[in-house]
Amino acid sequence: MALLTQKDLDERNQQLEERTPDELIRWAKDTFGERVAAISAMQTAGSIVCCMLGQLKLDIPVLFVDTGVLFQETLETRDRIAAEYGLEIRTLTPKQTMAEQIAERGILYLSPEGQEICCDLRKSQPLHAVADDYDAIISSLRRGDGGKRAKTPILSIDPKMNCVRINPLANFTNEQMQEFMETHHVITNPLHEQGYPTIGCNRCTTPVLPEEPKRAGRWRHLGPWSMYCGINATDVEGGTEGGIELSLDLIDRILGRETDFVI
Ligand code: SF4
């Protein structure tokens, strides 16, 4: 095994910057084979990635974390996407129901410190539980969403999952998103049309006013508008520090040292 750091990916990221999302998804399949999955929370960008996966027919499964307190519309969007795009969606769940968690620990999501623990228990840990199955996860983070996402690299490391995160939509603009959705009639969560620009758990998500930032409805009861759940390493301060351990052969393929990236 050898160590791969975020800095090791700098040159590769520059090379991949001009690639289209489809090309990046194909590259992910060529590079990681059966050990790549996508992850989607069934929000707009995640739905676009699912649509692309359905069109490409590469047999890449989709991970979906069901915290047990999601909106019904989100679950129905997942089911529609699985059925209509022909995708295998692997639903991951926390160890406890929310009722069991509250009985044991109290209502964690009512304080900033508790929110971190709750998101870890209900979002991050279910994902980390399948870390051994994958060397790469295709995510749908976009620089156009601003905040901590403004510098999202195409490839990043995720030390907690010991995997590479691939963001094929990293440099997709808002206009490209809109055009893709209209052209391909992408299945989207109906809550987006009901005042929810971003959607998480029903306990911690509200609609936003037209003049508010997009993420104003996330953890509104806790104050600041720029909080993240921590499931994405690049959203967390220092989240990509350290390195991940992969076989040298795989690192060579990721970095294009042996098998060059051919379109
Ligand atoms: S978004 Fe809220 S309810 Fe959901 S896991 Fe995080 S703190 Fe818990």
pLDDT in tens, 116-158: 999 999 999 999 999 999 999 999 999 988 888 888 999 999 9
Q: Tell me: the pLDDT tens digits for 170-211?
A: 999 999 999 999 999 999 999 999 999 999 999 999 999 999
Three-state secondary structure call for residue 144:
helix
Q: Which of 39, 42, 21 is nearest to 198 (CA)?
A: 42
Q: Enumerate the β-bridge partners of residue 2.
A: 246
Ligand 1 contact via 203 beta carbon (within 6 Å)? yes
> What average pLDDT does the chain have?
94
What's the confidence (pLDDT) of residue 215?
Answer: 87
229: annotated active-site residue = yes
Task: Determine the distance separating the centroid of ligand 1 and the alpha carbon of 237, expressed in angstroms.
Answer: 19
Average pLDDT of the segment spanning 55-74: 98
Tens of pLDDT along 84-120? 999 999 999 999 999 999 999 999 999 999 999 999 9
- With the most atoms of ligand 1 within 8 angstroms of its CB, the residue from 97, 196, 201, 221 to mutate is 201
- Structural domains present in the chain: 2-254 (3.40.50.620)
Question: Between vectors from CA 216 to CA 211 and to CA 220, what angle results, nearest 5°?
Answer: 135
Instruction: Check 51, 118, 204, 229 and give the catalytic one.
Output: 229
State the distance from the centre of ligand 1 to the C-alpha of 242, rounded, in angstroms. 27
List the beta bridge partners of residue 201. Answer: 70
What's the pTM value of the predicted model, to 2 decimals?
Answer: 0.94
Give 234 Cα–ligand 1 centroid separation in angstroms.
Answer: 19
